[in-house]
Amino acid sequence: MEVNCEGCAGCCLDWRTLADTDLDHERRGPYEPIDDEYNLVALTRDEVRAFLDAGLGDALRPRLWYDWERADGAGGAVDGDRDAGVRIDGAPVAAVRGRPAFFVGLRRAPKPVAPFDRDAATWLPTCVFLDPETLQCRMHDSGRYPSECAEFPGHSLTLDVETECERVEGEFGGERLLDGDPPDDTTGPLFGPQALGQKVFVHPDPERLDGVVDRTVAGDLTAEDRAEFAAVAAASTPGSTAVNDDAYERACDVALDADSWVGEAVSDWRERAGGPGERATDAPLADRVERDRGAPDTPGW
Strands 99-106 and 60-63: antiparallel
How high is the pLDDT of residue 250? 99
The residue type of 144 is R
- 206: DSSP letter: G
Sign of the four-CA dihedral 47, 50, 51, 52: positive
How high is the pLDDT of residue 301? 85
Where b means 16+ CB within 10 Å and e means fewer, 209-232 reads beebbeebeeeebeeebbbbbbbb
Q: In the Cβ-directed half-sphere of 160, how many Cα atoms lie within 13 Å?
A: 0
3-state secondary structure (DSSP) of residue 106 = strand
How high is the pLDDT of residue 68? 78
How high is the pLDDT of residue 74? 44
Q: With 0-12 CB in 10 A as exposed, 13-18 as middle and 19+ as buried, what is 245?
A: exposed
List residues bridging with 126 in a β-sheet.
Answer: 13, 109
3-state secondary structure (DSSP) of residue 231 = helix
Per-residue pLDDT of the chain (301 residues; tens, 9 = 90+): 999 999 999 999 999 999 999 988 887 777 899 999 999 999 999 999 999 999 999 999 999 999 977 655 444 444 445 556 799 999 999 999 899 999 999 999 999 999 998 999 999 999 999 999 999 999 998 999 999 999 999 889 988 999 999 999 999 999 999 999 888 877 767 777 889 999 999 999 999 999 999 999 999 999 999 999 999 999 999 999 999 999 999 999 999 999 999 999 999 999 999 999 999 988 888 999 999 999 999 988 8
How high is the pLDDT of residue 294? 97
Query: Peptide bond preceding 115: is omega within 30 degrees of 0, i.e. cis?
Result: no
How high is the pLDDT of residue 80? 42
On whether the CB atoms of residues 276 and 123 are closer than 8 A, the answer is yes
- Can you state the angle between helices 223-234 and 45-53, rounded to 10 degrees? 120
3-state secondary structure (DSSP) of residue 151 = coil
How high is the pLDDT of residue 83? 54
Q: In the Cβ-directed half-sphere of 206, how many Cα atoms lie within 13 Å?
A: 23
Strands 136-137 and 177-179: unpaired
On whether the CB atoms of residues 167 and 10 are closer than 8 A, the answer is yes
Cα–Cα distance for residue pair 248/208, rounded to 1 Å? 14
The residue type of 14 is D
